[in-house]
Amino acid sequence: MSEPELNLTPTRPYLARAIYEWICDNHLTPYLLVDATQPYTDVPTQFVQDGQIVLNIVPHAVHMLNMSNDAVTFSARFGGVPKDIYVPMNAVLGLYARENGQGLFFDPDEYANVQINEDALKSNTTETSETTDETPKKKPSLRILE
């Protein structure tokens, strides 16, 4: 008698969060290897080489880092220009420490048979583009009150 096939969620987001925490706890620099050719991936294209990009996600270099089960999102500066980054979890190829290369590289076929919630991905990329298209905010100013 064979067991019914279970619909388990991919392990990639859980392992990525654990490796990120381990790298940071050891005061190393976490690098995120991304397949920039995957749909809904929003990274600075000028730095993509051979369809891939490596992103430095050390806590002091990024703002509002979030590693959900669906995607990795954060804001960072590239050449002094702020950019919101959106990396669907199926585009995450690896997470490793710059200093020694230790980390995890994921099976690219892990998401081959996984139903990806495209509506959630579309809404997240739409929200990101809407927030970046707003009118520029005024620079902060300081007044001395007497």
Q: What is the pTM of this model?
A: 0.76
How large is the average pLDDT for residues 42-69?
96
User: Quick check: is 64 in a domain?
Assistant: yes
How large is the average pLDDT for residues 46-60?
96
- CATH code of the domain covering residue 54: 2.30.30.220
User: Quick check: is 137 in a domain?
Assistant: no
If phi over 0 gives left and psi between -120 and 50 gives alpha, with beta otherwise, what is residue 35? beta
User: Quick check: is 18 in a domain?
Assistant: yes
For 25-38, the pLDDT digits (tens) are: 999 999 999 999 99
User: Quick check: is 123 in a domain?
Assistant: no
Can you give the pLDDT at residue 145?
Answer: 67
* Cα angle 29, 72, 47; round to 5: 65
Number of domains in the chain: 1
User: Quick check: is 76 in a domain?
Assistant: yes
Q: Domain range spanning residue 75?
A: 11-105
For 92-143, the pLDDT digits (tens) are: 999 999 999 999 999 888 888 776 666 555 555 545 444 444 445 555 556 6
- Give the Cα separation of 28 and 26 in Å (integer): 6
